[in-house]
Amino acid sequence: MSLFSGRPLRRRVTGVVALALVPLMVAVGVAWAEVTDNMFPTSNTSPFCVKGMHTTPCQTDNRDVSYYMDSSGEFMLEATDRTDVQNVMANQYAPTDLVIAYDSTPVFSGSGETDIVYQEGSAGISDSADGMAWCDALGGDMVDCDQQVVRIRGNGYYTPSLVCHETGHAVGLQHGNVASPQISRTDPALGCMKTPTGGTTTLGANNRGHINNTY
């Protein structure tokens, strides 16, 4: 099985090699100033995607990102929370190179699974966390996931800033302490990926740049 699925490879440079590639990056029109590399995998994360809760979030498997919001059962989203997800996807992630689409007939097994499934609930979330994202089905590459789950507590925890944060994890964005180079988890350059998320609801230039450079 091929380790790559046709997506453009992310350029990783270190040491003197970086000096040689800077003109190329300018020539191809890279118009964003990278603060830190916080797209999975970094030099401070595992090098490959792992399935399961409480693991490092992986990249999604391609630029076409379908999402579903649980509409019944234990993890059903309330109407106001559904609105938050829709607004974040439309206003933050759709303007990137990702192609965002809602999937009203989600697929949970086999090939072509729905990429992100949003849930409301606290099962499996540690007491110190308001939400989490994890890979539920591995993709075809070592670094990606076929289906990611985003679960956020109810009772007021489902906010636009936290939706933006956990969705960032679902496409591979990481916290500052595992970025390369490492920066403070509260650094404003992390946009909605800073922790705690607070009122920051926008991706910011660093996150948008890495999304576009990856997908």
DSSP for 167-191, written as a single string: HHHHTTB--GGGSBS---TT-GGGG
Asked if the model's pLDDT at residue 18 lies above 70, the reply is no
Residue type (1 letter), 166 = E
Q: What is the pLDDT of residues 84-126, one digit of tens each?
A: 999 999 999 999 999 999 999 999 998 889 999 999 999 999 9
Mean pLDDT of the chain: 87
Instruction: Give Cα separations from 209 to 1, 7, 74, 138, 201 (angstroms).
Output: 29, 16, 36, 25, 17
Distances (CA, A) of 150 to 13, 125, 206: 31, 11, 22
* pTM as predicted: 0.85
Q: How confident is the model at residue 80 (pLDDT cuts 50, 70, 90)?
A: very high
pLDDT band at 31 (very low <50, low <70, confident <90, very high): low
Domain coordinates of the chain in residue numbers?
A: 59-214
Q: Does domain 59-214 have CATH number 3.40.390.10?
A: yes
**Nearest residue to 201 (alpha-carbon basis) of 193, 209, 213:** 193
Query: What is each CA distance from 135 to 15, 69, 82, 99, 194, in whole angstroms?
Result: 33, 16, 21, 20, 21
C-alpha to C-alpha distance for 115 and 195, rounded to whole angstroms: 24
Lowest-confidence range among 45-49, 106-110, 153-157, 182-186? 153-157
Q: Which residue has the higher pLDDT, 112 or 134?
A: 134
173 vs 200: which has the higher pLDDT = 173
